């Protein structure tokens, strides 16, 4: 295209191309060149008017302000403009929301100033709902995005009177029933019957923002009365990716926990009656993928998988890695201990809020429990139950870092207690059908033996519980974690002994950890004996050892493993006696401490009686000699174990009321962070 045609196309010159003289044409072309040069010069240089044209070039503004930002400023300015026009709102929702700007404007507005803008906030809320119902094109999508930002920011502010102030901000006391009922029913209709899956997902996001923001207010009763469960489950059933399941399932978890100890929560009843197995499996796969992502955050800070020996690793160790052929992998940063501890204390990520809903579904629905344990991973991926247990092991090893991670660790332990207490699920967990590889946390010593490849799932659970016992010993003991870990171990051993199921497992480490716990409890009695529910913990650890002594031959794989248990009990005789005295266990009918002490006393007498000289005193005997005496002593040993050691009380949610309320508040905080990250 010629220069002449370009300038004509831009409307700068009106040239008549004909039979003009050559000189005249040259003048016009020169003028066109000057004009084009002025158009392309820097905006910082003033434009020079052309003598041949009355048009002048206007300099562009120094700062470009999007139209939607101007509308935000107009809306949230406390002026006397009154109601905005119909055209204002139509344009407002036709324009794409500027999320960062809207978020900043609302975040910087103080709670007291928000209440002064009540007429504008009510208009925005009402107009957004109307646009969602009857808008065309992209307007409903923009309205949902705007509502998500608007509600997540304003509802999370600290108001003097949260319930009444939020009602005033959204509709006013006289109209809140009509306005908010219409709001919830509108979103319910979109989630259930919307034709666009993306739009329905946005509606779920708005519901999640409202639930998390108004969780401590009476506003949530509207969402309890409406019963969103069928719509949310229909969306989950029709979802296409696990990522689309995360938010709706988390939403159900928050709603199911709302004041559930104060009244009969309808969402709890819905969870109990739900039998759509395809939807359940989609949820479980989502839980599995979420657990893998949460675990990866721990591994990125400290990779705890031991590397096998390779030639390239050996060369790297001696500084010759540069000669290794092939692509060079980028090394992960290595943090010092204090930095790593600080980073680990912020974990798990906010998506861990899904664990609350997982607990509620497990507590209410046996079909969910069975599927959680049995379904395989998708396309050869890690099985969901393996990912869930793997994350639990990471939570347990770092439970001391914050109250939040302690709550999540307790929550997952309650799920495993529920699984073990179900006879059908427990049988599956302890059978060869459940063999699966599980990556367990190895970020802190002491380490249990590393087992690679597939193994019976029950052995992985045993490892996780023992790790929880070994890594949380401190004077301010978390009694609840220890009670849950020991309770799960007691239930597994009870099943193994009744069913006479022999497990190949490093039992020596198992019993060593239990006796180490007794030694710790004995050493720090003054700090621990007055802790709440410490008696339950003491009974669990003593009864677990007594049950193992009395029924060990039914589940221990070899006689050597049984001998090793007796050896360890005999070796700990003095500690057991002091343990009994320190905690006054002789006065507790539920304790089996006398069984342990009688076994230790019996063998010490045998060892003493069998050696007349000082050379054969117990302190001078070899391990092999003691083991031989233990084998011979079975004939004269009478273990007076208490009856009922292999029985236990079923889980009662009311016993964990305080913990679950704290857990719900922690999950609400995580959901707020989840929503805020999405609106950035």
Determine the structural domain holding residue 85 and report its residue range: 71-226
Is the residue at 343 inside a domain?
Answer: no
Q: Does residue 41 share a domain with residue 108? A: no
Phi-psi region at 499: left, alpha or beta (left = phi > 0; alpha = psi -120 to 50): alpha
Pinpoint the alpha helices (H) of 227-276: 229-238, 243-257, 266-273
Name the one residue in this structure whose structure tokens are 């857990």.
663
At residue 601, the pLDDT reads 86
Angle at 516 between CA 478 and CA 419, to 5 degrees: 55
> What confidence tens digit (pLDDT) does each residue in 367-397 have?
999 999 999 988 888 999 999 999 999 999 9
At residue 380, the pLDDT reads 81
At residue 16, the pLDDT reads 37
449, burial (CB in 10 Å: exposed 0-12, middle 13-18, buried 19+): exposed
Q: Does residue 172 share a domain with residue 30? A: no
Mean pLDDT score, 174-184: 94
Q: Does residue 48 share a domain with residue 95? A: no
Is the residue at 577 inside a domain?
Answer: yes
Mean pLDDT rounded to a whole number for the chain: 85
Mean pLDDT score, 430-445: 94
**CATH number (domain holding residue 218):** 1.25.10
Contact assessment for residue 350 and residue 677, using Cβ atoms and an 8 Å cutoff: yes
Check residue 645 and report its DSSP letter.
T
The residue among 216, 71, 82 whose CA lies nearest residue 146 is: 71
Give the contacts of 447 (CB within 8 A, at least 6 positions apart): none
Percent of the chain with pLDDT over 90: 64
Cα of 443 vs its chain's centroid, Å: 19
Give the contacts of 95 (CB within 8 A, at least 6 positions apart): 66, 67, 68, 71, 142
> What confidence tens digit (pLDDT) does each residue in 402-425 have?
999 999 999 999 999 999 999 999
The answer, yes or no, to whether residue 623 has pLDDT greater than 60, is: yes
> What confidence tens digit (pLDDT) does each residue in 589-618 have?
766 888 888 888 887 777 776 544 333 444
Q: Does residue 211 share a domain with residue 79? A: yes
Is the residue at 246 inside a domain?
Answer: no
Is the residue at 496 inside a domain?
Answer: no
Q: Does residue 181 share a domain with residue 54? A: no
Q: Does residue 106 share a domain with residue 20? A: no
> What confidence tens digit (pLDDT) does each residue in 636-680 have?
666 665 666 777 889 999 999 999 999 999 999 999 999 998 877
Q: Does residue 644 share a domain with residue 532? A: yes
- Please state the domain count of the chain: 3
Q: Does residue 605 share a domain with residue 541? A: yes
Q: Does residue 194 share a domain with residue 112? A: yes
Q: Does residue 540 share a domain with residue 621? A: yes
Number of residues written out for the chain: 680
Report pTM: 0.86
Q: Does residue 217 share a domain with residue 79? A: yes
The residue among 103, 91, 206 whose CA lies nearest residue 139 is: 91
Compute the distance between CA of residue 680 and CA of residue 570 in angstroms, rounded to an integer: 62
Is the residue at 101 inside a domain?
Answer: yes
340, burial (CB in 10 Å: exposed 0-12, middle 13-18, buried 19+): middle
Mean pLDDT score, 98-105: 92
Q: Does residue 169 share a domain with residue 127? A: yes
Is the residue at 269 inside a domain?
Answer: no
The answer, yes or no, to whether residue 631 has pLDDT greater than 90, is: no
Is the residue at 608 inside a domain?
Answer: yes
Compute the distance between CA of residue 409 and CA of residue 414 in angstroms, rounded to an integer: 9
């Amino acid at each position: 295209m010629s220069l002449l045609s370009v300038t004509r196309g831009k409307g700068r010159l009106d040239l008549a191309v004909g039979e003009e003289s050559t000189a005249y044409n040259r003048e016009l072309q020169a003028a066109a060149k000057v004009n084009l040069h002025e158009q392309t010069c820097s905006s910082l240089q003033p434009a020079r008017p052309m003598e041949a044209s009355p048009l002048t070039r206007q300099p562009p503004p120094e700062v470009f302000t999007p139209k939607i930002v101007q509308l935000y400023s107009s809306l949230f300015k406390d002026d006397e403009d009154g109601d905005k026009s119909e055209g204002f709102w139509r344009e407002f929702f036709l324009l794409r929301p500027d999320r960062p700007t809207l978020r900043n404007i609302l975040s910087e507005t103080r709670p007291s100033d928000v209440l002064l803008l009540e007429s504008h906030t009510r208009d925005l809320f009402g107009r957004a709902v109307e646009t969602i119902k009857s808008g065309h094109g992209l307007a409903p999508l923009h309205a949902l995005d705007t509502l998500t930002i608007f509600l997540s920011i304003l509802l999370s502010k600290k108001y003097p009177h949260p319930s009444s102030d939020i009602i005033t901000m959204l509709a006013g006391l006289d109209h809140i029933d009509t306005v908010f009922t219409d709001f919830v029913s509108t979103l319910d209709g979109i989630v259930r019957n919307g034709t666009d899956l993306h739009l329905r997902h946005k509606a779920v996001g708005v519901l999640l923002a409202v639930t998390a923001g108004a969780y401590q207010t009476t506003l949530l009763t509207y969402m309890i009365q409406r019963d969103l469960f069928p719509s949310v489950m229909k969306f989950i059933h029709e979802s296409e990716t696990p990522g689309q399941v995360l938010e709706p399932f988390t939403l159900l978890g928050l709603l199911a926990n709302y004041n559930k100890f104060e009244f009969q929560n309808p969402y709890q009843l819905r969870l109990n009656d739900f039998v759509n197995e395809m939807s359940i499996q989609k949820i479980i796969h989502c839980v599995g993928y979420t657990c893998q992502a949460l675990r990866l955050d721990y591994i990125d800070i400290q990779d705890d998988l031991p590397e096998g020996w390779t030639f390239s690793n050996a060369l790297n160790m001696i500084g010759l890695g540069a000669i290794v052929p092939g692509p060079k992998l980028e090394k992960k940063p290595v943090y010092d201990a204090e930095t790593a501890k600080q980073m680990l204390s912020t974990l798990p990520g906010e998506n861990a809020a899904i664990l609350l809903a997982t607990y509620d579904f497990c507590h209410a629905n046996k079909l969910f429990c069975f599927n959680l344990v049995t379904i395989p991973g998708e396309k050869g991926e890690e099985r969901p139950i393996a990912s869930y247990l793997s994350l639990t092991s990471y939570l347990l090893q770092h439970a001391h870092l914050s109250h939040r991670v302690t709550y999540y660790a307790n929550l997952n332990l309650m799920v495993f207690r529920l699984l073990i207490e179900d006879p059908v699920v427990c049988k599956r967990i302890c059978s060869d059908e459940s063999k699966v590889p599980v990556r367990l946390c190895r970020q802190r010593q002491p380490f249990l033996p590393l087992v690679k490849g597939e193994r019976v799932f029950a052995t992985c659970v045993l490892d996780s519980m023992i790790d929880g016992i070994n890594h949380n010993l401190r004077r301010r003991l978390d009694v609840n974690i220890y009670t849950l870990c020991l309770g799960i171990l007691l239930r597994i051993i009870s099943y193994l002994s009744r069913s006479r199921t022999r497990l190949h497992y490093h039992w020596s480490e198992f019993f060593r950890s239990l006796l180490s716990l007794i030694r710790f409890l004995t050493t720090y009695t003054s700090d621990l004996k007055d802790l709440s529910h410490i008696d339950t913990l003491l009974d669990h650890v003593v009864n677990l050892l007594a049950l193992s002594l009395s029924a060990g031959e039914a589940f221990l794989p070899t006689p050597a493993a049984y001998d090793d248990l007796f050896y360890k009990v005999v070796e700990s005789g003095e500690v057991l006696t002091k343990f009994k005295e320190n905690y006054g266990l002789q006065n507790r009918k539920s304790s089996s401490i006398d069984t342990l002490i009688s076994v230790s006393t019996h063998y010490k007498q045998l060892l003493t009686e069998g050696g007349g000289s000082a050379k054969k005193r117990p302190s001078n005997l070899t391990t092999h000699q003691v083991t031989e005496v233990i084998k011979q002593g079975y004939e004269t040993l009478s273990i007076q174990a208490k009856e009922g050691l292999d029985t236990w009380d079923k889980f009662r949610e009311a016993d964990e009321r305080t913990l679950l309320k704290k857990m719900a508040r922690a999950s609400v905080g995580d959901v707020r962070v989840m929503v805020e990250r999405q609106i950035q």
